[in-house]
Every structure is written in C-alpha cells, then in structure tokens.
Structure 1
Amino acid sequence: MPAATALDDVEELVRRRGDELVELSHAIHAEPELAFDEHRSCAKAQTLVAERGFEITRAVGGLETAFRADYGSGPLVVGICAEYDALPEIGHACGHNIIAASAVGTALALAEVADDLGLTVSLLGTPAEESGGGKALMLEAGTFDDVTVAVMVHPGPTDIAGARSLALSEVNVEYRGKESHAAVAPYLGVNAADAVTVAQVAIGLLRQQLAPGQMTHGIVTHGGEAVNIIPGRATLHYAMRAIESDSLRELEGRMFACFAAGALAAGCEYDIDNSAPAYLELKPDRWLVDVCRDELRRLGRAPVPPDVEAVLPLGSTDMGNVTHLLPGIHPVIGVDAGGATVHQRAFEAAAAGPSADRAVVDGAIMLARTVVQLAQNPDERDRVLAAQQRRASGAAGGTQS
C-alpha cells in the first residue's frame, strides 16, 4: 500500500467514525468509576473493537478491569493504551474518557491497514492510572512482553508532543498509640494524632532542603474517632515525586525518617505500606515524538517547542514504566477548559465539551498516522523490532533513540 494511501485511510476511518468515538467518550464521562472498579467503562471501551472483529482477552494480568483486544498477525505489535479510571469526587477531571475513546479510534483505524503494514493492533485496557498502577501491574504480569511499541494520548490544557513526567511513589503510614479519656486521664493515652502532627511538621521543614524536581504532598486519612478520646490510631497517605527514579529513592529515605520521627516523639508504633507500584518517569521515544509533533501541527494545533517541554510542570503516570521497557509516547492533546487544568472541576466539565470532542478525533488521527509512518520507515521499523527481539532474548540494551 502506498504511504500516502495508508495515512489517508486511517484518518478517513477516524473521521467517519468520529461520532461513535465521541459518543463513547461521553458515555464513559457520564459514569465515572474509580481505580480497579471501572467495570462499565471497561466494557464500553471494548464494544466498538469487538464489533470490528478484534479478539478480546478479558481480565489480563489478573486485573478484572483490564483487557487486551487484538487484530492482525504482523510482527510489529502496536500497543494502544486506553485509560478509563476517574478521580474521587471530581470524576473525569483528568479526561480519561478522552484517552479511552482516542485509543479505540486509533485501534479501529490501524485495523484497516494492519494486513498491508504487517501490524498486530493491540488495544490495551489499562485500569487504575490515577491510583494503583494498572500498567505497572500488567507489565509485571507479562501483558506487554510481545508489544513492540506502545502509544497513548492524554488530554491537558495545551498540546505537548514530548510530554515528560515525574517518578512517583505513594505510601500509607499508620500510627498506633493508646486510647484514653481526653479529660479524665489523657496521661494514660498515647496520642497517634500527635505522631501525625510531628511527622507533618518534619516534612514541612524538609521541603526547604528538597532537591530540584523533588516534591511531596499528602493528606491525613484518619485522625481519631471523637474529640473526647485520645486517638489510638491515625493514618497518613503521602505521595513523593522526583524528576528521575534515583532522586525519588533519596527522597523516600528522607521522608521515611520524618514518619519515624513522628512515631518516636509520640511514643507510637507505626507501619509504612506502599499502596501501589512506583511510577517511573516517562522516557518518550524521540523519533516517535518528532513525528507526533509534526502530526499535531498538521492538524492545526500548536504544540509547545521542545525547549519549553523541558520546563513545564509535571505530573506522574504509570506509562513511564512502559516507556522504560519499550519505545513509547504519551503526548498531551490540548482541551480548552477556560484556563483550568487537569484535576480541577472545570476541566471535568470541559472533558465532555466541544474542544474535548475534537481532541478525541485529533488524538486518534495523530496516533494512527504516527504508527503508520513507523511501519513504513524501514530503519525505524527495524530499530523497534530489534529492541523487541533483545527484550525477548533477555539481552541488555536500550530501546530509546
């Protein structure tokens, strides 16, 4: 198939099915579901590809709300990641409904050219990105073992081809003291809430000495039962972030000392539990990023320049774990939310608005055309296939260009 024909075909397919993709985005948006409980959203994301003849494997990686939908049998296995979990209280304020619908559109478009381009198209339903690390768990279970390259698109307030992210880890900290009457015999109690206070003061002082790119934020998830009872139990949930994983490990050591200080000062016992797999920083494939940037511009968008990408504020994603194993991209597609950004209520409303609907279609076109160009470029195709072969053989070697 001529190069121009395949590029035109995938774009035409997405535009022709654009109304169905937008309908899918709105349907997921209307029924937000939290991490590992995205049963309705997971099912909705499978409907259109099942009708197209994709082979569906449910509960992959042992996760009830994960799936894999495959079409084709070519050696270049393209994993298209669909997220669909929401946030507590503010629903799809991160726009994962847009991610899922764009991923489905990309998969449907690539199915049209899979045989001609030697592709296996794999739509991967990846739960629990906001909290829980679905992709990290699927990686550990081998779901990505045969995938050559992984792609997805995330909405945000602006277009970013080479989006980066911070490494992240989360912990739950439980302090255990001893209850007593707060007025009759407070001296007989051991105040677990005091341990929380001391730990948070220590963390507040630590922030002055954090290295560039390090940050931490948390909440008190339990602080006692009643005002007249010395709290015998108190809990914290904290996230730690850093530009790269070595820096994150250094931050964890200092944070754990703050948690220990709280227990020591209050005379409590304590435990630290990692609530989810750590998220690694994104390592986007540079060649795919450059193609993606050109595609964004072709669609009339204005992605930020590469030098600006390097200084933008960052979040975290388990897609970073994927890009440490195989070539991948995680571009951001712009949604007009009136100046709001992700994780704000105004962005949740915008995620089902006209700008978001355009982002669904543009995102699918951008990803599909990027994959087509990879498949039709002999040098780059050979590069990513060789990297896959090295992974399969267990040989060392990087995958990024």
Structure 2
Amino acid sequence: MPSAAASTRVEDAVYRRRGDLIELSHAIHAEPELAFAEHRSCAKTQALVAERGFSVRPVAGLDTAFRADYGSGPLVIGICAEYDALPEIGHACGHNVIAASAVGTALALAEVADDLGLTVVLLGTPAEEEGGGKVLMLEAGVFDDIAATVMLHPGPIDIAAARSLALSEVRIRYTGRESHAAVAPYLGVNAADAVTVAQVAVGLARQQLAPGQMVHGIVTDGGQAANVIPARAELRYTMRATDSESLRALETRMSGCFAAGAVATGCEHVVAETAPAYAELAPDAWLSETLRTEMTRLGRNPLPTELEASLPLGSTDMGNVTQVMPGIHPVIGVDSAGASIHQPEFAAAAASPSADIAVVEGAVMLARTVVALAESAEQRDRVLERQYRRAS
C-alpha cells in the first residue's frame, strides 16, 4: 500500500483539479475526431499538463502523438491518454474518459515526483480504434526509457486485470475484368463473385475455428453499376484470437478463404494489412492487484479474479505495450443502462455523471497505484531491472 502522506497528496491533487478534468472530458467528448486526425483533442489533452510545467513535444512523426515529461527521477512511469473516436457514433468507447483520467493521474503524480524519484510521462497515443498509435510509438522508441505504463478504460463493469484479444486487420482486393452484364457477361471476370465465394468460405470455416478465435468483416467495394460485371471489389476483415500465436494460425486459415474467391472466379487478389497487429494484454500481476485494492477502497466491486481471463474486452494496442514492459489497462465501470462499448448509448454514458466520477476515481486509483510502486523497494527494483534489460 502507498504511504499515507504520498497517497493522500495525490488523491487530494486529483480532487483539486476535479472541475478541470471533467471539463476536459466533456470538451473531448463534444468534438469527436477519428484516428490520426485528433488535432483538437490532442491539444486539449496537452493543455493542463503544459500549464503545470510538463515539457511537451511531438513524437514518432505523428501529428497527434505527444510525450509530456515532468521530473527527473530514475523511475520513469508512462500514463497513456487515448482520444480518438469512432465513425458516426463518436466517443462510444469513452476515450474522453481515458484522456481526462490520464491527465489527472499525471498532474497528481507531479506533486510527488521529486519526493518519490519519479519522472512522470503523459503519452498522447492516437489511433487506438484504428491504426495502432502505441505500436508505432513503441517502434519509434518513445517507450524505451519507461519502466512501467498505466492507463484505464471505461466500460459497463469494473475489471482490475482486464484482458484483450490479439488482433489483425486486412484489406482484400480482387481484380477481374469489366463487361456488359447482359450483352457479354462471359467476357467478364466478376470480382464481386470472388467476394461472395470468400465470404462463404469464411462462414463455413467458423465451425472449425479454435476457441477464442473470431473473424468479422465488411464489403467496402462491390461494384458501381448493376449492368457492369465489376472488375474490382474489396473486403475488410478483422481477425482476433486469445493470443498472438493463435492469431497467426487464424491468419493462415483465413488466407486460404480469401484465395478461394480468386481461384473460383479467375480474379487476382492482394491481401494487405491495414494497421499493425495488436497483441493481447498481459497485465502486470502486482500492479493489477494493487489497483484492485484501490477499486475496493473506493467502494467499487471489481470482477472476481477467476472470471477476468474468460471475459476479454475487444482488442487494444496497449497489449503491445504490456508485452514489453509491466503495465495495466483496467476497466472502470460507468453506468450505461446495459449498453456496451461501441454502442450509441455508451457514447451518451461517456459524458454522464457516472463517467465524470470515473474520470476522477480512475485518476485517483492510477496515481495511488504508481505511488505504491515507487515506494516498494522490491517492486521498484523489479520494474527498473526489466527496463534496464530491455534497454541493453
């Protein structure tokens, strides 16, 4: 447990900034922006920490990614802020809550950074819904000096050690040959038929998918005119699995289904990744249990440990971060009247009084968890040693 002095200071710091944090959450929610175009949301997320004296700079060659540092201690802690939204349904994943709670955590930890030997790093991570901003930032070295990374995500229930599925997404393009659909259909090579064959193959393959594997997709181009044999058609498919090894097996299985469309129709086809693959979350056990204690202290009722692994919550590029360093991605409960994430009703819930409480309590929980890490000699040494090994 964190010491009374430091834990009280960070908690008090969050409550002092409560109004600012809720205002930030609502401001981001009111102007939803899509992946890699979150310019207003990125600027809003930076503003409060810049005023506090954090050193803010763009990173990874991405217009809407940033790193804001405070302090000079040897224990470097990252706090991830997400702020991208979804097409048409806005912040139905509640990333406004994520950004505001991350800012609250960073501001609180700045109050004790010198005393605890911390460097506090707020990371603005774009394009979680589509594009893998954290993966790109990892590859660019933005996380290299960070010993542990924390964040949280709103959802219908509280989960201390949340899990996720590994994910990859591909675009499949079929190329055939146009012809008049009535005058000379025999001269055409129908790319839309290739799409149909591929989808039937995927549907039939579902019976033999391994537990935890799933696949879902849409047709993004199926032709332009009913009386023209389409020479091009396109699918977009997402594949998920319990871990990266299972995902690779699923990708191999699906590649055969996509090829079947081309073979059956005589089309050519190309399969291309649309974004970096997402690894599954690997929550740090000690950080998760410390966060669970904080959830309970605040009167929340986190999902029992034995049920957490059986309830993976979609996919996230934070999984890639937790594969290379200690990290957590807990879920903080928001009253959504039965709605789940990625539903319009959850977008409304993400700016509700319940979500405002989640912003504040989430920042308190994360900040106190980091204090506990900094004050435990054993755990501090553990994460620093892992960081040194990773850097060497």
Instruction: Please indicate, yes or no, whether the TM-score normalized by the shorter chain is above 0.5.
Output: yes
Where in structure 1 do 4 or more consecutive aligned residues deviate above 2 Å?
none
| Offset from partner CA, 1:294-351 (integer Å, 9 cap, x none) | 0001111100110111211431000000001100000000011100000000000110
Contact persistence 2:158–2:301 (CA under 8 A): yes
Residue of structure 2 equivalent to 1:302: 301
Q: How does 1:164-179 map to 2 (within 5 A)?
A: 164-179=163-178
Residue of structure 1 equivalent to 2:63: 64
Which residue identity is paired with 1:125? G
Residue of structure 2 equivalent to 1:250: 249
Would you say 1:55 and 2:24 are equivalent positions? no
Residue of structure 2 equivalent to 1:399: none
d(CA) in 1 for partners of 2:105, 2:313: 26
Residue of structure 1 equivalent to 2:127: 128
Residue of structure 1 equivalent to 2:43: 43
- Name the SS for the 2:173 alignment partner: strand
d(CA) in 2 for partners of 1:35, 1:272: 22
Residue of structure 1 equivalent to 2:10: 10
What is the CA-CA distance between 1:16 and the residue it aligns to? 1.0
Residue of structure 1 equivalent to 2:26: 26
- Name the SS for the 1:37 alignment partner: coil
> Any gaps of 5 or more consecutive residues in structure 2?
none
Which residue identity is paired with 1:275? T
d(CA) in 1 for partners of 2:312, 2:119: 35
Residue of structure 1 equivalent to 2:377: 378
Residue of structure 1 equivalent to 2:116: 117
Residue of structure 2 equivalent to 1:396: none
Residue of structure 2 equivalent to 1:235: 234
Which residue identity is paired with 1:19? G
Which residue identity is paired with 2:297? R
- Name the SS for the 1:61 alignment partner: coil
> Any gaps of 5 or more consecutive residues in structure 1?
394-401
Which residue identity is paired with 2:25? S
- Name the SS for the 1:288 alignment partner: helix
Which residue identity is paired with 2:87? P
Residue of structure 2 equivalent to 1:283: 282
**Under a length normalisation based on structure 2, what TM-score does the superposition of the two structures give?**
0.99
| Identity value in percent | 73
Q: How does 1:233-382 map to 2 (within 5 A)?
A: 233-382=232-381
Contact persistence 2:162–2:312 (CA under 8 A): no
What is the CA-CA distance between 1:187 and the residue it aligns to? 1.1
Residue of structure 2 equivalent to 1:218: 217
**Under a length normalisation based on structure 1, what TM-score does the superposition of the two structures give?**
0.97
d(CA) in 2 for partners of 1:304, 1:343: 21
| Offset from partner CA, 1:339-390 (integer Å, 9 cap, x none) | 0000000000110001100000011000000000000001000100111111
Would you say 1:200 and 2:196 are equivalent positions? no
d(CA) in 2 for partners of 1:259, 1:304: 39
d(CA) in 2 for partners of 1:107, 1:81: 10
d(CA) in 1 for partners of 2:227, 2:125: 45
Residue of structure 1 equivalent to 2:76: 77
d(CA) in 2 for partners of 1:189, 1:209: 34
Which residue identity is paired with 1:53? G
- Name the SS for the 2:106 alignment partner: helix
d(CA) in 2 for partners of 1:313, 1:291: 20
d(CA) in 2 for partners of 1:354, 1:108: 22
Which residue identity is paired with 1:14? V
CA root-mean-square deviation: 0.7
d(CA) in 2 for partners of 1:215, 1:272: 18
Which residue identity is paired with 1:15? Y
What is the CA-CA distance between 1:185 and the residue it aligns to? 1.2
Tell me the number of residue pairs that the alignment of Structure 1 and Structure 2 aligns: 391
